[in-house]
Amino acid sequence: MRNFCEASDIRLERQQAPPTLKESNVTTFQHQKMASMGPSPGMGPVMVLSKWLSALIRFVPLEGHLVVVAVIVVVVVIVWLTSFFMSFFSPQKRYTKPHQCTHVHKKTDAKTQRQTGREAQLSNIQAAMAVANIIRTTLGPQSMLKMLLDPMGGIVMTNDGNCILREVDVSHPTAKSMIELSRAQEEEVGDGTTSVIVLSAQVLSQAEPFLMNKYHPTVIVQGYTKALAYALEVAEKIAVSIDVSKDQEWVSKLVMSSIGTKFSSRWNEKLVDMAIQAVLTVTETSASGMRRVDIKRYAKVEKIPGGELDDSKVLKGIMFQKEMTHSKMRRRIENPRILLLDSPLEYKKGESQTTMEITDDQDWNTMLKLEEEYVERMCQEIIALKPDVVITEKGVSDLAQHYLQKANITAFRRLRKTDNNRVAKATGATIVSRTEEISESDIGTKCGLFEMRKLGDDWFCFLEECEDPKACTIILRGGSKDVLNEVERNLQDAMQVVRNVVYDPKLLPGGGATEMALAVALRKQGQSLQGTQQGPFMAVGDALEVIPRTLAQNCGVSVIRTITELRAKHAAAAAVAAESDPSSTNSKPCHIGVNGITGDLIDMNELGIWEPFSVKVQTIKTAIENACMIL
C-alpha cells in the first residue's frame, strides 16, 4: 500500500512539472516512431485503425485508458458496419448476374385461386363430391343424424339434407351451387333433398373419365340430356296412378315411406295421420275442379315444450297464443259470433308529430271528450251486431275494453296478420278495415267452441269444432326444443309429400327400385346409339345406381354383392318382358329394391315403400341439369 501511494505521488509530480530535455527527447522519438508506423500494403481499414490505437494506448496515462477503450469499440463498430454495407450494395456484386434479377415476385392473396380449362372442371367435380359426402350417410332409414352448431350458438340435430347444408359455410362456387340445389328441391317438392345432392355429384363424377380422355363438355352434356329425356319417358310408363280421395291406404304407405327415413319414424302412425289430416283440411277445390293446397299459409305448426309426442294433434280449427285484454271477459263460449278487424279500437293518432296549442282549460276537456266519443261510437257500431269475440290486429284502448266488457264481448288485440287470415279461413269471417262498414255477412259463425286454455306457462286461445275449416293448427308436444324442431321438419316433409300426390296422383316404387330400373333401361337403349354420345348416355345409368348403393352402404351389408344381385334381377325381368313383347322398345321393370333396414332385396309392393312421382322426377331432372350446368 505504501509503495502504491509513493508511485502515485511520483506520477502526479511528473504530470505537473514541465518536461525536461531528456523527457522531451524521448517523447519526440516516440512520436517519430508512431509516425513511421504507416499502413502496410494489403491491410484493411479495421486492422490499420486497431494498430494505431493499440500503439496510442501505450503512451496514454492510466486514467484515460477506459475512455480510449470505449472510443476504440465505437470506432471499430462504425468502420465494420460501413465496410459491410459498402460491400453489400456494391454495383459490381449486385449486377454480376443480370439474369437473376429478371424474375418478378407478385404478392397474391392466399384465398384467391384462378383455375381454367381441365383443372377447373376437375376441381368442380371434387367440390361436388365433397358436398355429397357430407350428407351421404343421412340417406335411408338407417341414416345417422348430424349435430351442428349454428352461428347463433344453438344446436341443430337432424338428418335432413337441406337443413344440414344450410348450416355449412363453403367458399367454392360449385359447392355453393350444390347447396342452392338442395334449397330449390326443398321449395319445389319438399322432399328428396339428400337424394338430389348425392345423385348430382355422382353424375358429375361419371363425367371425369370422359374429360380425362379429351371429350368436349358439349358432347357430354348432349349425352346427358338425351339420357334425361329417355329416363323421364321410362319413369312415366312405370308409374302407378291412384285416387287420393279413395285410396287412403296408398297415401298412408306413401307418407310412411317418407317418415320412415326420419328421426320420428318411431311415431309413424301418429305423424302419418296428422300429415294426411292437415293436408286434406287445407285442400280447396275450385269450380273448374283444380285443387289448391297452401300448407305454408294455412297449416301452422305450434311447438309447445312439455308433455309427450302422443299428445300432439291437428285441431279442427285455429289456436294462437294471446291473452284477453280484460280479466273479466268470458273464457268459454259455444257457437261464438266472431268479428275480425285490422283497425285500432282507440283514438286515431296522427301519422306524424302533431302539436296542439290550447289556450283555454275548457278546450282540453273538450278534446278529451271528443276522443271518448270517437271510441264510444266505434264500440257501439261493434256492439250493434252482437258479436261474442272481437279480434283486431291493432291496439284496443282501456276505454274500448270497458265498453266491450260491459257488452259481454271478449276482445283480443295485436294479432298477427297471418294468424288473422287463418282465423278468417276457419270461421268464415271477413276481415273489416272500418267499423262503419261492418255488416252481418262479415261475422264468422262456423266456429263451434271458443275457449282459453293454459299450456305450460302461456295462455292460448282455441277456436275449435269449426264447420269445414280451410285452415288448421298442428300442436306438437315434446320433451325439448331440439326434438320438437326435428319432428316439425319431418312433419313438413310428410305434408309436402301428401300435397305432391294431391297435385299429381302417381307413385313410383322406392328403395332404389326406380333408379335401378332406369339404369337397366338406359344401358339397353345406349347400346343402340352410335358415336361419342353413347358413353355419356350410358354413364347416367351407372350414376343412378348410387341411390341403392348408398342405401346398402348405410345398412352395413356387402355393397358389391347386393348391387350385383339387384342389377341381375332387373336385367332378367327386362329380358323376360322383351321376349314376351318383342315390338316393345322398353323393358318392363320389376319393383325389387333394397330394404333400407335389413339390406335385403325385396319387392316394394310387399314392403309398401312408394314415393311420389313428382318428387322422383324432380330429383332426376334437377340432378342431371345441374351437372350439365357445372360441366
Pairing of strands 389-392, 338-341: parallel
CA-nearest of 554, 550, 489, 487 to 310 is 487
Cell of 287: 269450380
Judging by beta carbons within 10 Å of its beta carbon (0-12, 13-18, 19+), is residue 516 exposed, middle or buried? Answer: buried
Cell of 342: 285490422
Q: Which of 138, 158, 160, 325 is an active site residue?
A: 160
CA-nearest of 167, 239, 326 to 505 is 239
CA-nearest of 447, 454, 344 to 388 is 447
Cell of 255: 307418407
Would you say the C-alpha torsion 190, 192, 194, 196 has a positive or negative sign? negative
389 in Cβ contact with 337 (< 8 Å) = yes
299 in Cβ contact with 282 (< 8 Å) = yes
Q: Give dist(CA 33, CA 48) in Å, integer.
A: 15
What residues contact residue 202 under an 8 Å CB cut-off, 6+ apart?
A: 132, 543, 546
Backbone angles phi, psi at 335, to 5 degrees: 50, 60
Cell of 558: 356387402
Q: Give dist(CA 333, CA 445) in Å, integer.
A: 12
DSSP per residue, 579-607: HH-TT-SSPPPP-EEE-TTT--EEEHHHH
Q: Give dist(CA 186, CA 358) in Å, integer.
A: 61
CA-nearest of 547, 614, 552, 627 to 235 is 614
What residues contact residue 298 under an 8 Å CB cut-off, 6+ apart?
A: 282, 421, 422, 425, 470, 471, 472
Q: How far is CA 121 from the centre of its chain?
A: 25
Q: Give dist(CA 427, CA 338) in Å, integer.
A: 8
CA-nearest of 325, 478, 490 to 401 is 325
Q: Give dist(CA 251, CA 239) in Å, integer.
A: 15
Q: Which of 193, 514, 550, 619 is an active site residue?
A: 193
What residues contact residue 175 under an 8 Å CB cut-off, 6+ apart?
A: 127, 128, 130, 131
Judged by DSSP in three states, 470 sits in coil
589 in Cβ contact with 575 (< 8 Å) = no
Q: Which of 138, 174, 194, 325 is an active site residue?
A: 194
Q: Which of 281, 325, 493, 514 is an active site residue?
A: 493
311 is catalytic: no
Q: What is the 3-state secondary structure (H, E, C) of 13-45?
A: HHHHCCCCHHHHHHHHHHHHHHHCCCCCCCCCH
360 is catalytic: no
Q: What share of the chain is helix, strand, coil (3-state, %, to 5)?
A: 55, 15, 30
57 in Cβ contact with 65 (< 8 Å) = yes
193 is catalytic: yes
493 is catalytic: yes
- What positions carry a catalytic annotation? 160, 193-194, 493
